[in-house]
Chain A
Amino acid sequence: MPAREITFSQAINEALAEEMRRDPRVFIIGEDVAEAGTPFKVLSGLVKEFGTKRVIDSPISEAGITGIGVGAAMTGLRPVVDIMFGDFITLTMDQLVNQAAKIHYMSGGKLKVPMVLRTTLGATRRSAAQHSQSLHAWLSHTPGLKVAVASTPHDAKGLLKSAIRDDNPVIFFEDKMMYQLKGAVPTEEYIIPLGVADVKRVGSDVTLVATSSMVHVALAAADTLQADGISAEVVDVRTTVPLDRQTIIESAKKTSRAIVIDEGYERYGVTAEIASVIADGAFYYLDAPVKRMGAMDVPVPFSPVLEDQTVPTAESVAKIAKMLCGKT
């Protein structure tokens, strides 16, 4: 497929534009989504093509717009709700957890909520404790929701298109530090199914399972490790729900060692879940305990020297990988 380089932000924008052209039921609602195109400019230009009836600027009412999204989804539309910062999902939690996630089940399978809620994650933007969290584990914990954590422009576009076509509520997390990241994206239409992990780099000594921007941390660590004679395989889970257990377990079986890297809090987090999947599915193949690397269990601090310590880095991942491989 012919491809060109576009940014993560452009990939999101293209996915939305294509789905809105394809399906008149799709609309966007959120704070500053229309003329402003969001503070991150991810939605720039969409209002020009689709008008203010389909790209709707809302009041600052996260719970309200999420609830409206749920109701619209239940009655024939396919809303894409924009929640500017992932930290603000705290304000939407009843509508997501008690409403969107449960309606299909509680109604015995009669009602559906085909809604996407796009939001952000990721620290190191010097935005302090209420604009820097990665709370995708909270939603991954809730049956009835699907959760995507794309790492590249290519994956972001294909996964978002799938999310919009999905009949379930899908929470789509974008690392705000990746919006300017460039990558090859085909010019032809494609979709990527939810629930299929991707081996981003093939290796044989250690598996680095990662999510979202931590995939790039893992890839950078793999480069370093290669110089030290360690071959790292990088598995990008792409969606925490559904989780592609098989690909993760197969990789761990192959390499016999695994580190799980995620930017959510380490305690009770995504890393814990995936580590248990590996321990359970690859136990007899492992030469070392599965290691977890998440964000430090502290509110994200403002000061750069403090903040930078809170998230996994290529250096810290490489260090742990060497230790696992007995090459400290």
Chain B
Amino acid sequence: MARPKQSRTKAASALSRDQALHLYRQMLKIRLFEEQVNQLYLAAKMPGLAHLYIGEEAIAVGVCEALRRDDYITSTHRGHGHCLAKGASVDKMFAELLGKAPGYCRGKGGSMHIADQDTGNLGANAIVGGSAGIATGAAMSAKMRGSDQVAVCFFGEGALGQGLLYEVMNMASLWKLPVIYVCENNQYNEYTSYRETTAGEVAARAEAFGIHTETIEGQDIQLVHATSLTLVERARRGEGPAFLQCHTYRFYGHHVGDIDRSYYRSKQEEEEWKGKRDPLLLFAEWLQKSEMADRKLLDQIQNEIAMEIKEAADFAINASYPDLDEVSQDVYA
């Protein structure tokens, strides 16, 4: 894979120690949450499937930490990371994944539809590219209401095949809407390499609409965060939409049941990403090198978050299912 043009050191960080540790915690929370989700699946405690975000944590955290609580995001079927990064709590997340009453959507949405209006999360969306209109509409609404809110639309490179994305990018550019299209290019449209599905240059597609476009290494939390801050502030100032392509990798399968992946990608490729381009390992290294944390502190953080995850999962396992008559509630407002 061609390395992104921008150098990884560009963002030479202005992060304070507190900020840096917060970013680390957020990424680790997503990692451990997702590992727990996989365990719940393997233990047959979770109905249905889940699409794990492991390997891509730096993008959700880097982008969402550049946002305010009242800014909007829309997410994808691989959305747990976005929801958590925007401020969702792990207990209500697990409860939703298990279809329980205290879940974010009272068990009606499940893994692929978590929405949390209190944190500006307009919902994960299981139609690939399906939320591009919603995010753009939220940005238009922010502009029309005279608020300075920004909307972020997360999607994978698979969504580059969907027409809706191009319709709304055209309008976002025409009307200078405060929306940022974040393309998480994890290289695989489900079980097919994006090279087989994507003609031309990804960035050129957004550039064709006159949209400010950046392509970066998505495994570098500092770079993602610094770039996002620039794009978010730009949008907030009324300078219009942006397109941010982040190169990344899905460490696990398309979903938890996708175990044998040898027919679409090599073990060697997976090992290379996991070994050399794991956003958590890279950032942990940097934290230690820059003396913001030592191994002991990182272990302590790991233990704290592991405990939080375990308690949240237990809470969800022990929570009640919704009442049966809720099935016909909330069809209409």
Interface residues of A (CB under 8 A from B): 27, 53, 58-59, 61, 63-77, 79, 94-95, 98-99, 103-112, 114, 143-144, 146, 167-168
Contact = CB atoms under 8 A, between A and B. Distances in A.
Interface string B119-147: 00011010100111111111111101100
B141 A75 contact: yes
14 contacts: A27-B144, A59-B167, A68-B136, A71-B141, A75-B122, A75-B142, A76-B141, A104-B333, A107-B108, A107-B115, A108-B103, A108-B104, A111-B115, A111-B123
A117 B19 CA distance: 45
B171 A61 contact: yes
Interface in B214-242: none
Nearest to B175: A56
A63 B108 contact: no
Given A59-B174, A103-B115, A110-B117, 15 more contacts: A59-B167, A59-B170, A61-B170, A63-B133, A64-B133, A64-B168, A66-B133, A68-B168, A70-B137, A74-B138, A95-B164, A104-B330, A107-B113, A108-B330, A168-B332
Given A70-B134, A71-B134, A111-B123, A64 B167 contact: yes
B167 A72 contact: no
Contacts of A68: 133, 136-137, 140, 168, 171
A108 B137 contact: no
Interface in B91-127: 103-109, 113, 115-117, 122-123, 125, 127
Contacts of B74: 71
A67 B105 contact: no
A108 B105 contact: yes
B44 interface: no
A70 B133 contact: yes
B141 A111 contact: no
B333 A167 contact: yes
B171 A109 contact: no
Residue in A72, A73, A146 with the greatest tally of chain B CB atoms within 10 Å: A72
Nearest to A241: B332
A171 B69 CA distance: 33
Given A27-B144, A104-B333, A98 B130 contact: yes
A64 B170 contact: yes
Residue in B109, B135, B144 with the greatest tally of chain A CB atoms within 10 Å: B144
Give the interface residue-count category, chain B: 35 or more
Nearest to B142: A75
A175 to B, nearest CB: 26
A106 B138 contact: no
Residue in A58, A70, A79, A108 with the greatest tally of chain B CB atoms within 10 Å: A108
A153 to B, nearest CB: 27
A103 B114 CA distance: 10
Contact of A67 (B108, B116, B136, B174): B136
A95 B141 CA distance: 17
Contacts of B331: 104-105, 143-144
A127 B117 CA distance: 44
A76 B138 CA distance: 9
Nearest to B174: A59
A223 B123 CA distance: 53
B163 interface: yes
B329 interface: yes
A106 B115 contact: yes
A69 B137 contact: yes
Contacts of B139: 71
B127 A71 contact: no
Nearest to B149: A75
A68 B171 CA distance: 9
B72 interface: yes
Contacts of A95: 130, 133, 164
A124 B216 CA distance: 56
Contacts of B144: 27, 53, 72, 77
